[in-house]
């Protein structure tokens, strides 16, 4: 059964939803029988315009426009990078307290690598693992996942960029290993999106708390790290 997005906010110009993991945004991303776009369209009873994307496996805040005028204005804001997006991720290792990753990324179109910047702030540490907040300053494909892997701190459960993680996961105790196996996806969640309403110009902020699967993994890592004692910083 496909989980439907839940509506966080709706006006005549836009709708913000909480997208569950396992749901692609629109048909251009997948051959799945159902997508977030169709589900949100049916829920609001109007045509919706996609403005940005989240990976199928990534959960969290997703925004659609409800008119061509709003789509044009909000699309320009996304393109200019004037919309703030923040993500939470559970990663391997002991990342710095705060760092800005400035590492160009190649795209699928064959063009030269493009500038890409992500601000990373560590929010909690669990022994060999950590919870980080990632704020992308540019909008490249898989930017957060690639930048964290580039730092040597891949997102837990990321089968594409977390090379070698499954081998090192054997160091986990039974509770976090079971939580990671049950997760079945990368531990990445879009928890905040701040945007200016295209008509009223009022600042809007949409939040989505960590879903249950990520909370269970975080708690399992916390319990194991507490029982194991402090992990030396590297």
Instruction: Spell out the per-residue pLDDT of the chain, length 234, in tens.
Output: 557 899 999 999 999 999 999 999 987 756 778 899 999 999 999 999 999 999 999 999 999 999 999 999 999 999 888 899 999 999 999 999 999 999 999 876 667 888 999 999 999 999 989 999 999 999 888 999 999 999 999 999 998 888 655 545 556 778 888 888 888 899 999 999 999 999 999 999 999 999 999 999 999 999 888 876 655 454
Residues that are catalytic:
55
Judged on CB neighbours under 10 Å (0-12, 13-18, 19+), 153 is buried
User: How many Å apart are CA 142 and CA 83, to the nearest integer?
Assistant: 17
Per-residue confidence (pLDDT) for residue 234, from 0 to 100: 45
Which of helix, strand or coil describes residue 180? helix
Which among 137, 134, 171, 140 is positioned nearest to 154, based on CA atoms?
Answer: 134
Per-residue confidence (pLDDT) for residue 230, from 0 to 100: 54
**Is residue 83 situated within a structural domain?**
yes
**Is residue 20 situated within a structural domain?**
yes
The CATH number of the domain where 157 resides is what? 3.30.2350.10
Q: pTM for the full model?
A: 0.90
**Is residue 203 situated within a structural domain?**
yes
Domain that holds residue 30: 6-228
**Is residue 116 situated within a structural domain?**
yes
CA–CA distance from 136 to each of 17, 33, 103, 116, 193 (Å)?
Answer: 20, 30, 12, 8, 11
What total number of domains does the chain contain? 1
**Is residue 233 situated within a structural domain?**
no
Tell me the two tokens of residue 20: 């569950």
Question: What is the Cα 67 distance to its own chain's centre?
Answer: 26
- Dihedral sign of CA atoms 101, 185, 86, 65 in order: positive
**Is residue 158 situated within a structural domain?**
yes
Contacts for 205 with CB less than 8 Å, ≥ 6 apart:
192, 193, 194, 195
**Is residue 1 situated within a structural domain?**
no
Which of helix, strand or coil describes residue 146? helix
Which of helix, strand or coil describes residue 205? strand
Which among 225, 192, 195 is positioned nearest to 210, based on CA atoms?
Answer: 192
**Is residue 234 situated within a structural domain?**
no
Tell me the residue length of the chain.
234
């Amino acid at each position: 059964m496909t989980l439907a997005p839940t509506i966080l906010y709706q006006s005549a110009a836009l709708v913000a939803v909480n997208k569950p993991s396992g749901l692609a945004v629109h048909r251009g991303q997948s051959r799945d029988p159902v997508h977030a776009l169709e589900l949100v369209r049916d829920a609001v009873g109007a045509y919706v315009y996609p403005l940005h994307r989240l990976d199928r496996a990534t959960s969290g805040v997703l925004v659609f426009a409800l008119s061509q005028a709003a789509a044009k204005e909000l699309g320009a804001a996304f393109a200019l990078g004037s919309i703030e997006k923040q993500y939470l991720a559970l990663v391997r290792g002991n990342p710095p307290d705060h760092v800005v990753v400035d590492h160009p990324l190649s795209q699928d179109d064959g063009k030269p690598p493009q500038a890409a910047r992500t601000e990373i702030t560590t929010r909690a540490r669990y022994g060999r693992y950590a919870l980080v907040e990632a704020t992308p300053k540019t909008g490249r494909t898989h930017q957060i996942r690639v930048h964290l892997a580039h730092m040597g701190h891949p997102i837990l459960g990321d089968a594409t960029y977390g090379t070698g993680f499954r081998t090192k996961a054997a160091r986990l105790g039974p509770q976090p290993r079971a939580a990671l196996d049950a997760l079945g996806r990368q531990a990445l969640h879009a928890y905040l999106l701040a945007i200016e309403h295209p008509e009223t110009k009022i600042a809007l902020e949409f939040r989505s708390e960590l879903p249950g699967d990520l909370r269970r993994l975080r708690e399992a890592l916390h319990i194991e790290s507490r029982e194991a004692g402090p992990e030396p910083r590297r």
